[in-house]
Amino acid sequence: MTVNHQPLLTQADLLKRGLADLQEHDAELAQILDAEVARQQRTLSLVASCCAVKPRTLAASSSVLVNVTAEGVPGRRYHAGCENVDLVESLAIQRARQLFGAQYAGVQSHSASSANYSVLAALLEPGDTLLGMALDNGGHLTHGSPVTFSGTYYNAIGYGTTKEGLIDYDEVRRLALEHRPRLIICGATAYSRVVDFDRFRRIADEAGAILMADISHIAGLVATGRHPSPIDAAHVTTTCTHKQLAGPRGGLILSGRDANEKVPGRDVTFARVLELAVFPRMQGAPAVNMMAAKAAALGYAMTPEFDAEMQRIRDAADVMASEFQARDYEVVGGRSENHTILIRLRANMTGAIAEAALEHCGIVVNKNRIPGETRSSFVTSGLRIGTGALAQRHIDAQGCRQIVDLLCRILDQVTPQGDNEFTLDPALRKQFCAEAEALCVKYPIADYLAN
């Protein structure tokens, strides 16, 4: 029998065909996706948890690996047909270990929240005590908030910040010795100063607790040495891959010097517990295409270009914090030592109004609660500003000053009507939009996306 061999399709063929098919057969969806591409180029994102993925990462996340079911880990799968999947996952693991200097890396978690869930579920029994940073003070939902598993399955105790907005390490120690938590979480989503991981470890050791660090917001600064690393200080470190690492939506679980130590009270190492924590305990088959995208992002994170981007994040945060202070805004914590600037808004301005008014003018920020907060998390009295996406636009000091100036001028012209409503002269709004768009043109994201 003669077999008529068709040329095999390549990844590039499929991606090109997919884009063309989407335009031709699903114009409704294609238009929404194109509108989002335009929005991301035409608005200034100051969202602390956002940045843009490189096209190579986007392509890897759209790869045919999405078709493969691959429960298990490289070399030990419950499914056949995994030879390329094994290579992809091994590459992502190797790059994660290298980038962070970790002995153990797990790359299957669908997000940092699910990574946190996996770690807690594997190391704690329901009802055990957990000590984490309170959400109101800059922690994360999964660090003990009662609206998540972490605050309902466990006896969650929250630590906070001083009135100046700094982590109150004395309070952390006092609470740790009083409540003897099985696990302490350090790391934050709205905290602009360095986290002293070594001090947390000393407190954890004194209290007989396991230490978990969640570096989702600062992973790029940690990877490039611009923030102390928790990898050897904490027993376990988690991070998402989609903030500073510019990767896909996903999570990593890492461990350093404790990886091959036994979990206190158990005859099993941290590395083995962490591996089983994700599959089969928490997840089934991993999103293999996302593991490929993680590998792509981690590869980029080892380049001089990424290193320079992380320096721009720091430089921009310093300039912007000073500019806000020069305009008499309080910067919570006194200054920024990472990518975040948390500002206290003026008395009658709420975070909800500021966020909405700025978005109307082409600037995207987050409302955020601040120390001593009296308003709800839907209203708030603060704004959280991040410099990650600006760094990808190759922002310089002059651009940072112009953005703070524009942002403050907009807020000065907004008249709040209660907690959520406001008025802003339409002519002024049009002018502000034009200024924001001009800054997007002056600092285009296209150069970052060029390769």
Q: Which residues bind ligand DSN (CB under 6 A)?
A: 49, 140, 189
Closest to ligand DSN by CB, 49 or 381: 49
Q: Least Å distance between CB 355 and ligand DSN?
A: 13
Q: Least Å distance between CB 218 and ligand DSN?
A: 11
Closest to ligand DSN by CB, 218 or 319: 218
Q: Least Å distance between CB 251 and ligand DSN?
A: 11
Closest to ligand DSN by CB, 72 or 248: 248
The burial of 74, by beta-carbon neighbours within 10 Å (0-12 exposed, 13-18 middle, 19 or more buried), is given as middle
Closest CA to 378 of 415, 406, 343, 418: 418
Q: How far is Cα 361 from Cα 205, in angstroms, rounded to an integer? A: 50
Q: Least Å distance between CB 244 and ligand DSN?
A: 11
Q: Least Å distance between CB 189 and ligand DSN?
A: 4
The residue type found at 119 is V
Closest to ligand DSN by CB, 321 or 385: 385
Q: Least Å distance between CB 429 and ligand DSN?
A: 26
Closest to ligand DSN by CB, 108 or 241: 241
The full 3-state SS of the chain, as one line of letters, equals CCCCCCCCCCHHHHHHHHHHHHHHHCHHHHHHHHHHHHHHHHCEECCCCCCCCCHHHHHHHCCHHHHCCCCEECCEECCCCCHHHHHHHHHHHHHHHHHHCCCEEECCCCCHHHHHHHHHHHHCCCCCEEEEECHHHCCCHHHCCCCCHHHHCCEEEEECECCCCCECHHHHHHHHHHHCCCEEEECCCCCCCCCCHHHHHHHHHHHCCEEEEECCCCHHHHHCCCCCCCCCCCCEEEEECCCCCCCCCCEEEEECCCCCCECCCCCCEHHHHHHHHHCCCCCCCCCHHHHHHHHHHHHHCCCHHHHHHHHHHHHHHHHHHHHHHHCCCEECCCCCCCCEEEEECCCCCCHHHHHHHHHHCCEECEEECCCCCCCCCCCCCEEEEECHHHHHCCCCHHHHHHHHHHHHHHHHHCEEECCCEEECCHHHHHHHHHHHHHHHHHCCCCCHHHC
141 labeled binding residue: yes
Q: Least Å distance between CB 373 and ligand DSN?
A: 16
Closest to ligand DSN by CB, 50 or 397: 50
Neighbours of 105 (CB within 10 A): 24
Closest CA to 369 of 139, 185, 169, 36: 139
Residue nearest to ligand DSN (CB): 49
Q: How far is Cα 134 from Cα 131, in angstroms, rounded to an integer? A: 9
135 labeled binding residue: yes
Q: Least Å distance between CB 369 and ligand DSN?
A: 12
139 labeled binding residue: yes
Closest to ligand DSN by CB, 189 or 224: 189
123 labeled binding residue: no
Closest to ligand DSN by CB, 161 or 189: 189
Closest to ligand DSN by CB, 49 or 380: 49
Closest to ligand DSN by CB, 244 or 255: 244
Residues 6+ apart with CB under 8 A from 376: none
Q: Least Å distance between CB 116 and ligand DSN?
A: 11
90 labeled binding residue: no
Q: Least Å distance between CB 140 and ligand DSN?
A: 6
439 labeled binding residue: no
Residues making up the annotated binding site for (6S)-5,6,7,8-tetrahydrofolate are: 135, 139-141, 261, 376-378
Residues making up the annotated binding site are: 135, 139-141, 261, 376-378
